[in-house]
């Protein structure tokens, strides 16, 4: 097909994994001549951030990556980064009175324990997740053949039809109840995983539920030195220009270009300190959640007008504590026989935390070692900021506690209606994909899709957008 001259300038708002991977894919598609400006008001990395504790860095936000997250894998390879193993140690589940499940060092013992308490439900749960992941993986084939989707719903439908898309309209609870899983298994095994990963209950949509359960698979990994290195690496590799400022509004305006033609363009108005600046762009990608509390971006003079976004994001606090865990809260066993490195909690545990687990620094290759005084660094997820009294309840003694509050991921409440990807002719929104599931890989998929969509719409390649029957069509292609 004929190609139109590339755009002069593209703006991306947000330098998290979504914005930086969008810059990378846009550069691949539009070539070296387009100027790409990436706006970031805080740190490059966004929700991939580390916390520094006594000279060591720990992941505070997005920390684990699934072995089948192929975009993240590809970035790490292309950028020459190294990986570390992100899971390890023994897991326990606490219901407010006792540990209802405790992992052992022996695989076969774990199998016997699980079968004894829950029959074959654990195996069936893995099979259900595998089935969802199998369909989900089709996105990589579609994207490698350059196909794009104009909405999150169309993207999910292309992966597995009505049933797959329907997962957004059903809770995980009703889906698994219908599939015959017992209340006991749902309360003791599934709910704690939703609490640690998304700070929510089994009332979240079934797709994000499956994504969350996939974190129980083996082989989870992280980037050595911190996951945010992927963002700074992509920014550099894309040869984009970082503007450290806060975008306040975007306005549609008619501008006379160097060719002499009046053209509709987007004016991006931003603040650096107290100074206001602005610049004009042919294409704009918004790679941050659009709501008042998080990005606070206004859209001015658009025809038709762009709606206000109100998606409610879940408040979660990450706390890192270096100290000696008060194991008596969870178990009557002596402290030296406790042995668990992660404790998840059930919904009815009445505890003020969602989870607690030993963490490694971003440079540790192996399982974490205790410091010379025998203490570890623990990561706690809680709904609210922990008080000193609560920390003293959890720890016999501690050296320090550092906290980071987040508006972490959407509050899931099926049926979900995902925000549009196309906000206006050449204005695209990436983070609507989080309504299906929030994860690094989801933002990378949204970024690849938006870059392809922007490219095809710029060049009028309508046949590459929302194609029906892609799975069948590409079955026989390499
Ligand atoms: C505690 C926690 C744990 C998590 N754990 C995992 C995990 O283990 N694995 C996983 O895959 N995912 C995890 N996630 C989810 C994952 O981190 C996110 O889905 C992903 O990082 C989102 O990336 P993003 O680029 O889309 O958004 P963000 O990272 O939020 O990036 C948006 C950027 O835009 C900037 N911005 C906002 N408004 C403006 C403005 N007006 N002007 C300029 N810049 C602006 C922000 O400062 C931010 O840097 C976790 C998230 C949290 C919070
Ligand atoms: C998108 C697919 C198929 C898989 C991604 C699976 C994944 C890694 C999801 C992340 C879920 C999430 C938001 C976890 C937060 S907590 C992570 C960890 N348990 C921690 O302790 O930090």
Q: Model confidence over 111-131: pLDDT tens digits? A: 999 999 999 999 999 999 999
Helix 70-79 and helix 228-237, axial crossing angle in degrees, nearest 10 = 60
Quote the pLDDT of residue 364: 84
Q: Residue 478 pLDDT more than 80?
A: no
Q: Residue 22 pLDDT more than 90?
A: yes
CB 288 within 8 A of CB 46: yes
Strand order in the sheet with 275-281: 275-281, 262-272, 246-256, 298-300
Q: Residue 1 pLDDT more than 70?
A: no
Regarding predicted confidence, which is higher, 259 or 57? Answer: 57
Nearest 5°: the CA angle 413, 415, 421 is: 95
CB 299 within 8 A of CB 305: yes
Q: Give CA separation, 302 vs 10, 36, 298, in Å.
A: 18, 23, 11
Ligand of minimum distance to the alpha carbon of 445: 2
Average pLDDT value for residue range 16-26 = 98
Q: How confident is the model at residue 475 (pLDDT cuts 50, 70, 90)?
A: confident
Helix 121-136 and helix 206-213, axial crossing angle in degrees, nearest 10 = 110
pLDDT in tens, 292-343: 999 999 999 998 999 889 889 999 999 999 999 999 999 988 888 899 999 9
Greatest mean pLDDT range, 41-50, 111-120, 248-257: 41-50
Q: In this structure, which residue's CA is closest to atom 10 in ligand 2?
A: 439
Cα–Cα distance measured from residue 223 to residue 84, given in angstroms and rounded to the nearest whole number: 6
Q: Which atom of ligand 2 is least distant from the CA of 441?
A: 1
**Percent of the chain residues topping a pLDDT of 70:** 99
Cα–Cα distance measured from residue 119 to residue 97, given in angstroms and rounded to the nearest whole number: 23
Regarding predicted confidence, which is higher, 1 or 112? Answer: 112
Average pLDDT value for residue range 204-230 = 97
Q: In this structure, which residue's CA is closest to atom 12 in ligand 1?
A: 439
Decide if the complex's ipTM is over 0.90. yes
- CB burial string 265-286: b at 16+ within 10 A, e below: bbbbbbeeeeeeeebbbbbbbb
Quote the pLDDT of residue 210: 98
Quote the pLDDT of residue 52: 92
- Report residues whose beta carbon is within 6 angstroms of any ligand 1 atom: 13-19, 39-42, 46-48, 61-65, 246-247, 287-288, 295, 297, 316, 318, 406, 408-409, 431, 438-441, 443
Average pLDDT value for residue range 350-360 = 94
For ligand 2, the distance from its centroid to the CA atom of residue 394, given in whole angstroms, is 25
Q: In this structure, which residue's CA is closest to atom 5 in ligand 1?
A: 62
Q: Residue 66 pLDDT more than 90?
A: yes
pTM, entire model: 0.97
pLDDT in tens, 140-166: 999 999 999 999 999 999 999 999 999
Which two three-digit tokens encode residue 202? 């089994």
The β-bridge partners of 262 are: 256
Query: Cβ(442) to ligand 2 under 6 A?
Result: yes
Q: Residue 78 pLDDT more than 80?
A: yes
For ligand 1, the distance from its centroid to the CA atom of residue 16, given in whole angstroms, is 6
Quote the pLDDT of residue 44: 98
Q: In this structure, which residue's CA is closest to atom 1 in ligand 1?
A: 61
Q: In this structure, which residue's CA is closest to atom 6 in ligand 1?
A: 62
Candidate of 229, 288, 443 to mutate for ligand 1, largest count of ligand atoms within 8 Å of Cβ: 288
Q: Which atom of ligand 2 is least distant from the CA of 437?
A: 1
Query: Cβ(286) to ligand 2 under 6 A?
Result: no
pLDDT in tens, 396-452: 999 999 999 999 999 999 999 999 999 999 999 999 999 999 999 999 999 999 999
Q: Which atom of ligand 2 is least distant from the CA of 136?
A: 3
Q: Residue 99 pLDDT more than 70?
A: yes
Quote the pLDDT of residue 88: 78
pLDDT in tens, 159-201: 999 999 999 999 999 999 999 999 999 999 999 999 999 999 9
For ligand 2, the distance from its centroid to the CA atom of residue 264, given in whole angstroms, is 41
Quote the pLDDT of residue 373: 73
- For residue 430, give the 3-state DSSP assignment: coil
Average pLDDT, the chain: 95
Quote the pLDDT of residue 299: 97
């Amino acid at each position: 097909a004929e190609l139109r001259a590339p755009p002069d300038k593209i703006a991306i708002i947000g330098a998290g994994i979504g914005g930086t991977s969008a810059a990378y894919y846009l550069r691949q598609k539009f070539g070296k001549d387009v100027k790409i400006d990436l706006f970031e008001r805080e740190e490059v990395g966004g929700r991939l951030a580390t916390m520094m504790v006594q000279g060591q860095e720990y992941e505070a936000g997005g920390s684990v990556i699934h072995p089948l997250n192929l975009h993240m894998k590809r970035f790490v390879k292309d950028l020459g980064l190294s990986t570390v193993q992100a899971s390890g140690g023994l897991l326990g589940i606490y219901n407010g009175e006792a540990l209802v499940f405790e992992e052992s060092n022996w695989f076969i013992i774990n199998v016997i324990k699980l079968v004894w308490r829950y029959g074959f439900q654990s195996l069936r749960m893995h099979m259900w997740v595998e089935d969802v992941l199998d369909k989900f993986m089709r996105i990589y084939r579609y994207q490698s053949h350059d196909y794009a989707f104009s909405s999150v719903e169309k993207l999910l439908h292309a992966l597995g039809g009505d049933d797959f898309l329907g997962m957004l309209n059903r809770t995980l609870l009703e889906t698994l109840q219908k599939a015959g899983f017992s209340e006991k298994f749902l309360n003791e095994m599934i709910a704690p995983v939703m609490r640690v990963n998304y700070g929510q209950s089994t009332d979240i949509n079934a797709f994000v539920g499956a994504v969350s359960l996939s974190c129980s698979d083996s082989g989870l990994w992280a980037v050595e030195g911190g996951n945010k290195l992927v963002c700074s690496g992509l920014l550099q590799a894309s040869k984009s220009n970082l503007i450290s400022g806060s975008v306040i509004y975007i306005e549609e305006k008619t501008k006379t270009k160097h060719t002499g033609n009046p053209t509709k363009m987007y004016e991006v108005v931003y603040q650096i300190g107290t100074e206001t600046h602005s610049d004009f762009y042919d294409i704009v990608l918004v790679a941050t959640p659009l709501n008042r509390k998080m990005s606070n971006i206004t859209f001015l003079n658009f025809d038709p007008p762009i709606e206000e976004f109100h998606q409610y994001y879940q408040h979660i606090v990450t706390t890192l504590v270096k100290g000696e865990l008060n194991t008596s809260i969870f178990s009557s066993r002596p402290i030296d026989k406790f042995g668990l490195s992660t404790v998840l909690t059930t919904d009815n545990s009445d505890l003020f935390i969602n989870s607690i687990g030993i963490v490694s620094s971003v440079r540790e290759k192996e399982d974490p070692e205790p410091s010379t005084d025998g203490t570890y660094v623990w990561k706690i997820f809680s709904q609210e900021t922990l008080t000193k009294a609560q920390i003293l309840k959890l720890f016999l003694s501690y050296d320090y506690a550092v906290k980071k509050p987040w508006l972490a991921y959407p509050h899931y409440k099926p049926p979900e209606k995902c925000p549009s990807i196309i906000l206006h002719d050449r204005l695209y929104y990436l983070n609507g994909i989080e309504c299906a599931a929030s994860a690094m890989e989801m933002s990378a998929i949204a970024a690849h899709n938006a870059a392809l969509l922007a490219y095809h719409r710029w060049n009028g390649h309508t046949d590459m957008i929302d194609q029906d029957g892609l799975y069948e069509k590409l079955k026989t292609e390499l």
